[in-house]
Structure 1
């Protein structure tokens, strides 16, 4: 599914649209519609921890979130080998509005959200899973390659 970028992803201000592909219930991938760079693996933060933040009013207006019913929040994950060495950026979530196909990156203030990190180790969420089957499911999902989808 294609999304117009209303507020750029830091470091990739030239990118105007991204394609979102769902890998499974936890992992997603976004890729530039005009080339191979950038491409990011995303993760559903709510599958890992309690995660809450305020979306700035300007971004709410840009994404037209007031009456939106279909919002997705995801975080960029930097994959490493072994997978447990991967990191997650909880300070700059991506917000997707499925109703109007727009997206933006929200940059949170680390002083206002000290519980979140820009490079939170994935192993922090693998070591103490709710149960062992959930831990294995996370690892398997992250290592799968996405299946191509038409949009």
Structure 2
């Protein structure tokens, strides 16, 4: 299957793992199928590209490589929806907003992306935790030495 992507042009995704968001993403409920694509010369970030909409592409990163003390509990409805049986089934990513200069970039710690790597189901889980920001500036984390 060939798709048009926002950052990679036309791409054959037959050999790339596809991720299903059964309920879509908040604000993008119709977007249910995505692929994770590398960003050339950058191992820290990936593009989460919609299979059906070329203009829906989010920059994502592992929040644990950016924030040392990030932790949260996955709620029961998410565990059930994604059929998560153990911690080994999990991959957690967070949506980034990249800006120039890089220190002005932000990471969304309030709504992590939870992936089950065994069945390729995923969900963006909204946390109700005042300790985490929707737009946590990366520069503040670097200044505090939390990176």
Q: Aligned with 2:141: secondary structure?
A: helix
Residue 55 of structure 1: which of 74, 90, 93 is its match? 74
Dislocated runs of 4+, deviation >2 Å: 21-26, 67-70, 125-130
Specify every segment of 5 or more residues in structure 1 that has no aligned partner in the other structure, as ranges: 136-151
Aligned to 1:31: 49
Match of 2:63 among 45, 49, 53: 45
Confirm or deny: 8 A CA contact 2:25 2:32 kept in the other structure.
no
**Contact map agreement 1:87 1:120 (CA 8 A) in 2:** yes
Q: TM-score, normalised by structure 2?
A: 0.78
- Residue by residue over 1:27-74, the C-alpha shift from the partner in whole angstroms, topping out at 9 and shown as x without a partner, is 222000112131111111111221111111111001011246231101
Task: Kindly report the root-mean-square deviation, in angstroms, between the aligned alpha carbons of the 2 structures.
Answer: 1.9
Whether 1:105 and 2:124 are equivalent positions in the alignment is yes
Check the 8 A contact 1:2/1:19 in 2, yes or no: yes
Contact 1:4 1:101 in 2 (8 A): yes
Aligned residues: 128
> Which structure shows the bigger proportion of residues in helix conformation?
1
**Aligned match of 2:30:** 14
Q: Which has the higher contact order (CA 8 A, sep 6+)?
A: 1
Counterpart contact for 1:73–1:93, Cα < 8 Å: yes
Give the 3-state SS of the residue equivalent to 2:95 in structure 1.
strand
TM-score scaled by length of structure 1: 0.76
Unaligned runs of 5+ in 2: 1-16
More strand by share: 2
Q: Distance in 2 between matches of 1:122 and 1:52?
A: 17
